[in-house]
Amino acid sequence: MIKTDILIIGAGPTGLFTVFEAGLLKLKCHLIDALPQPGGQCSEIYPKKPIYDIPGFPEILADDLTQNLLEQCKQFEPGFTLGERAETIDKQDDGTFVVTTNKGTQHQAPVIAIAGGLGSFEPRKPLIHNITDFEDKGVEYIIKDPEIYRDKNVVIAGGGDSALDWSIFLSDVASKVSLIHRRNEFRGHLDSVEKVQELKNKGKITLITPAEITGIIGDHDLKGVVVKESDNVHIDKEYVLECDHFIPLFGLSPKLGPIANWGLEIEKNAIKVNNALDYQTNIPGVFAIGDVNTYPGKLKLILCGFHEATLMCQAAYKIINPGKRYVMKYTTVAGIDGFDGTRKEAPKAVVKKIE
Amino acid sequence: MEQDVNIKIIDRDGVIHQVLAPTDMAMNLMEVVRSYELAPEGTIGICGGMAMCASCQCYVNSQHELPEMQDDEEAMLSEAFYVKNNSRLGCQIQMTQEMEGLEVELAPES
């Protein structure tokens, strides 16, 4: 059981900044995120896009913002459960909550901060009628353990970075890698595209374009996929391509998911909160901050998430330390004492006589 | 009001909406849909309008001359589902005077 003061669900910018604000109040945080890396949308959807409305940053790349937030909060030693989705919440007799992930990891905290953005990122499944019958029987939407593809015949579908990158990686692991895409053009980093070109020329990747997978063949386990090559010029060609694994990589899309069943008031796919006070939900001790919440006049902006996180932490302090006195301190005055023993503070003013 | 254009939008439930869209607020079709709440929040414009998610895919049913498709939109549509010949990403269609009378249908959520 992982124990902490504030359990944050979602490691995007709002969740990461919560760690910093909580740390100033000597509250420890742990974050859960369905993605394998922190940053949320900033790392998953648009890492290389510049953001222009972060106060004090005329321009910052989404990925750099994530790195800065991690750097800013690191002395408060946040814990991470990454690649797992928060599944259930159970209130305990002592008033704390236990949150369990889809992999069974349990977390306990007196305060829960849902900073889940638009929800947890789920793979987008291609529209193949029998695909669900073969999930985990040869069809995988996310590559968790590349070793299972060793010496196997693998078909990858998709036209983005993950399809390119995994084709490159698995070309050294699998016995055969076929990459199938609806167009001849790929949307990815130039070096990935060039690398795939090089591997194709060497015969290490079989490229099948423009084509798509229209069916899956197998009895119990996957035996092959139905490939339809069509270029709007020639007659469509449809055939079975034998394989051991089919990995469709069509990106991820966020879904509110299990949080929708936690008994929280939901409106417009977001969690209703008390914005006049502390961003608490209808369940005392459970807060919702950032894009995941809604209230009159809500704006889904990173900067609004930062503000909401700050006020929420003050409320969390009162729940965790009932009756204990505190006044907000400025970091310019008090500096920052990290949980790792480090201290940051303003240099002392020089007092020297001028003669 | 003379700057507004009339747009016909069929939502994902097949309901027809006649809406007025301003042309002087740099709005795109995805944002018009959101401003009239014709699709639930969180199911459209997920990436914010960067042609990076296809949640605003729509089918253009009128014969309007639309802005030419850029590489990123074309690439995104090549990975999207339920794509037809008249598919476009709503976030890439700016509201201008030329869009008067535009007729579109929202593609299914995926």
Instruction: Give alpha helix (H) positions in chain A.
Output: 13-24, 41-44, 62-73, 161-170, 190-201, 302-320, 331-334
Q: Is A181–B78 a contact, with Cβ atoms under 8 angstroms apart?
A: yes
Side chain identity at residue A259, one-letter code: I
Q: Is B81–A182 a contact, with Cβ atoms under 8 angstroms apart?
A: no
Which residues between 21 and 60 in chain A have a beta carbon less than 8 angstroms from any beta carbon of chain B?
41, 45-46, 49
Closest Cα to residue A65, out of A19, A20, A12? A12
Residues A148 and A241 both lie in one domain = yes
d(CA A111, CA A88): 15
Cα distance from A217 to chain B (closest Cα, Å)?
21
How large is the average pLDDT for residues A86-101? 97
The two tokens of residue A155 are 């078909």
d(CA A88, CA A77): 25
How large is the average pLDDT for residues A112-124? 92
Q: If DSSP codes are grouped into helix, strand and coil, which group holds residue A99? A: strand
Q: Is A45–B110 a contact, with Cβ atoms under 8 angstroms apart?
A: no
Any domain includes A333: yes
CATH number assigned to the domain comprising residue A325: 3.50.50.60
Residues A223 and A166 both lie in one domain = yes
Interface size A-B, in CB pairs within 8 Å, comes to 64
Q: Which of A250, A272, A297 is the last residue of a domain?
A: A250
pLDDT of residue A347: 86
Q: What pLDDT, in 10s, does the model give residues A271-294?
A: 999 999 999 999 999 999 999 999
B50 touches chain A (CB under 8 A): yes
Residues A179 and A244 both lie in one domain = yes
Q: What pLDDT, in 10s, does the model give residues A228-250?
A: 998 777 888 999 999 999 999 99
Side chain identity at residue A238, one-letter code: E
pLDDT of residue B52: 87
Number of domains, chain A: 2
Cα distance from A91 to chain B (closest Cα, Å)?
28
The two tokens of residue A320 are 């965790």
A269 touches chain B (CB under 8 A): yes
Residues A228 and A263 both lie in one domain = no
Any domain includes A355: no
Q: Is A268–B50 a contact, with Cβ atoms under 8 angstroms apart?
A: no
**From edge to edge, which strands make up the β-sheet containing A29-33?**
A79-82, A29-33, A6-9, A111-114, A286-288
Question: Which residues from A are below 8 Å from B52, CB to CB?
Answer: 45-46
User: Which residues make Cβ contacts (< 8 Å) with residue B92, sequence separation at least 6?
Assistant: B28, B51, B67, B69, B70, B73
pLDDT of B72 > 90? The answer is: no
pLDDT of residue A140: 94
Residue A174: domain span = 131-250
pLDDT of residue A187: 82
Residues A315 and A229 both lie in one domain = no
Closest Cα to residue B9, out of B27, B26, B34? B34
The two tokens of residue A1 are 């059981």
Q: What pLDDT, in 10s, does the model give residues A297-347?
A: 999 999 999 999 999 999 999 999 999 999 888 999 899 999 999 999 988
Q: Is A256–B42 a contact, with Cβ atoms under 8 angstroms apart?
A: yes
Question: Which residues from A are below 8 Å from B82, CB to CB?
Answer: 127
Residues A180 and A69 both lie in one domain = no
CATH homologous superfamily for B5-106? Beta-grasp domain (3.10.20.30)
pLDDT of residue A107: 98
Residues A292 and A235 both lie in one domain = no
Q: Is A159–B81 a contact, with Cβ atoms under 8 angstroms apart?
A: no
Residues A138 and A98 both lie in one domain = no
d(CA B61, CA B88): 11
pLDDT of B1 > 60? The answer is: no
Which residues between 15 and 44 in chain B have a beta carbon less than 8 angstroms from any beta carbon of chain A?
40-43
Residues A201 and A293 both lie in one domain = no
Any domain includes A214: yes
Residues A148 and A228 both lie in one domain = yes
Phi, psi angle pair for A33, to nearest 5°: -145, 140
pLDDT of A35 > 60? The answer is: yes
A42: nearest CA partner in chain B: B47
Question: Which residues from A are below 8 Å from B48, CB to CB?
Answer: 46
Query: ipTM of this predicted complex?
Result: 0.79
Query: Percentage of residues in chain A with pLDDT exceeding 70?
Result: 100
Any domain includes A353: no
Any domain includes A114: yes
A256 touches chain B (CB under 8 A): yes
Residues A85 and A156 both lie in one domain = no
Question: Which residues from B are below 8 Å from A269, CB to CB?
Answer: 40-43
- DSSP line for A202-269: TTSSEEE-SEEEEEEEESSSEEEEEEEE--SSSPPEEEEEE-SEEEE---EEEE-GGGGGSS--EETT
d(CA A56, CA A72): 15
A314 with A25: CB under 8 angstroms? yes
Q: Which of A198, A229, A250 is the last residue of a domain?
A: A250
d(CA A280, CA A272): 9
Q: What pLDDT, in 10s, does the model give residues A180-227?
A: 999 888 888 889 999 999 999 999 999 999 999 999 999 989 999 999
pLDDT band at B2 (very low <50, low <70, confident <90, very high): low
pTM of the model: 0.84
How large is the average pLDDT for residues A84-102? 96
Residues A243 and A139 both lie in one domain = yes
